[in-house]
Amino acid sequence: MPSLTRIAVSNVLATPRRAIITSAAVVVGCTAIVFMVGMNMGFAEMEIANAVGLMLGHVQVDSAKGDRTIPAGPVLAAGAEVPAVAGAAPRLEIPALAGALGRARGALLLGVDAAREANTSLFPRLVVEGKLPGPEDGDAVALGTTLAELLHVKVGDKVPIGYLTLSDDLGRARLRVVGLVQSGSEELDPRLALVSVETARRLCESPQDGTGKVLIKARTSADTEAAAAALRARLDPSVYRVRTWREVSPFLRGLVSFQYGSVNVVLVILYVIVGLSVAAVQVIGILQRTREFGVLSAIGFTPGRVVRLVALETMLVGTVAVGTGLLLGVLVVTVVNRLGGIDVRWAGAEHLEGMIGLDPYLRPLVSSYGLFTALGLVAPIFMIGGILPALRAARMTAMDALRHL
């Protein structure tokens, strides 16, 4: 019995070329949107990852009362309990002056836990010679490459350091250079002097467990808020202040927001192109069937039934096409991601010398936002593109429709 569904299925199956052509526009459109949204998200993720990878962290925990140090233990323990946290590392910053008279430079003596930094920051990857100082290295330091050049020191040399203790007394030490670090940051490399956090505590007379702040790395950038919320719930708010990178760095927040906004402009253009293409293919396809609708009208199909038939066919083709497009989009994004992403230097960003150690690979991300955007844009346009011309054809007299070429 030829129910409307059976006719719709027969129509679709009997005209595979028509179904493939209309589907192709939808598949390409969905794939393009999922990929482009994925690229946008990936770009933002790359930007955030690179920005938070050195001094910022996804989340920072410091003193709620403005104290120079906080106990690190409770924060590190809380971080270990939170699934959204990938790593946590104490940081103790000490203002310092490095070098002898005539070659002295302002420096940032930064106490780090080398083992924890591996899961938290990019520093372990930025060592170009030697290593980061560990607790066993005593009075050892890893210098920024530019600072080492300015001071004319190399690995194995000793460098005099003057610094402020937590009680604002002047202290001094001679630290052995055990490594050179190149962050690529013009601001950081001429000032950076990394020591173990234990050495930093000793030098600045900090309490045993003291640290200036604890940097937290979230599993993904999207986990930032969840990680911060979980830490806030676990830490005493009268002692600890928990802030996300958005709160710590309004500049970076603005930059990411600007990037989203500007790429969204490109996406809107893509949406318009995809929308128009899908609508055009669908409208042409349906208008070509005007004569067929005339036949249906002649054998007694009401205009409503003709439109229902077209809607059913459109839904059948659209469901398969949108599903295929979304799947293909996810597949392309996943494959590009698994292959390591797109090297933005190859794509025109040749002058990234300053980004040494940072990640120049743009990895698109599968996101529900991308999937819903593609679905929300393409599916309605495809349905409307099918139903509107069918409504128009159904309103014609049967004879006018039959005369249609």
Partner 1 sequence: MTGALLEAHRLSRVYGGPNGDRVALADVSLALAAGELVGLAGPSGSGKTTLITLLGGLEPPTSGRATLDGQDVAALSAPGQARRRASMIGLVFQTHNLLAALTAEENVSLAVESALGPRSDPDARAREALAALGLDGYRHQRPGQLSLGEQQRVAVARAIAMRPKLLLADEPTASLDWESAARVLDALAALASRGCAVMIATHDERCLRRVQRTIALRDGRIQP
**Is 14 or 265 the residue whose CB approaches partner 1 more closely?**
14
Told to check if 405 binds partner 1 by CB under 8 A, we report: no
> Minimum distance from CB of 286 to partner 1 (Å)?
14
Task: Report the C-alpha gap between 206 and 111 in whole angstroms.
Answer: 11
Radius of gyration of the chain (CA): 31
- Angle (nearest 5°) at CA 179 between 175 and 185: 105
Backbone angles phi, psi at 356, to 5 degrees: -50, 130
Write out the DSSP string of 152-219.
Answer: T--TT-EEEEEEE-TTS-EEEEEEEEEEEE----TTTTTTEEEEEHHHHHHHHT--TTEESEEEEEES
**Is 140 or 401 the residue whose CB approaches partner 1 more closely?**
401
Binding partner 1 (rule: CB under 8 A), the pick from 296, 362, 374, 387 is 296
Told to check if 11 binds partner 1 by CB under 8 A, we report: yes
Residue 353 and residue 57 in contact, taking contact as beta carbons nearer than 8 Å:
no
Write out the DSSP string of 362-402.
Answer: E-----HHHHHHHHHHHHHHHHHHHHHHHHHHHHS-HHHHH
Q: How far is CA 208 from each of CA 58, 137, 242, rounded to the nearest angstrom?
A: 26, 18, 22
Told to check if 15 binds partner 1 by CB under 8 A, we report: yes
Letters for 369-398 (x = contact with partner 1 by CB under 8 A, - = none) are: -------------------------xx-xx
**Is 141 or 306 the residue whose CB approaches partner 1 more closely?**
306
**Is 234 or 291 the residue whose CB approaches partner 1 more closely?**
291
Alpha-helix residue ranges (DSSP H) falling in 3-15: 4-14
Told to check if 299 binds partner 1 by CB under 8 A, we report: yes
Letters for 272-291 (x = contact with partner 1 by CB under 8 A, - = none) are: -------------------x
**Is 173 or 317 the residue whose CB approaches partner 1 more closely?**
317
**Is 240 or 293 the residue whose CB approaches partner 1 more closely?**
293
Backbone angles phi, psi at 216, to 5 degrees: -115, 130
**Is 165 or 397 the residue whose CB approaches partner 1 more closely?**
397
End-to-end CA distance of the chain: 30
> Minimum distance from CB of 305 to partner 1 (Å)?
8
Binding partner 1 (rule: CB under 8 A), the pick from 207, 304, 354, 376 is 304
Told to check if 20 binds partner 1 by CB under 8 A, we report: no
Positions in the binding site for partner 1 (CB under 8 A): 1-3, 7, 10-11, 13-15, 291-292, 294-305, 394-395, 397-400, 402
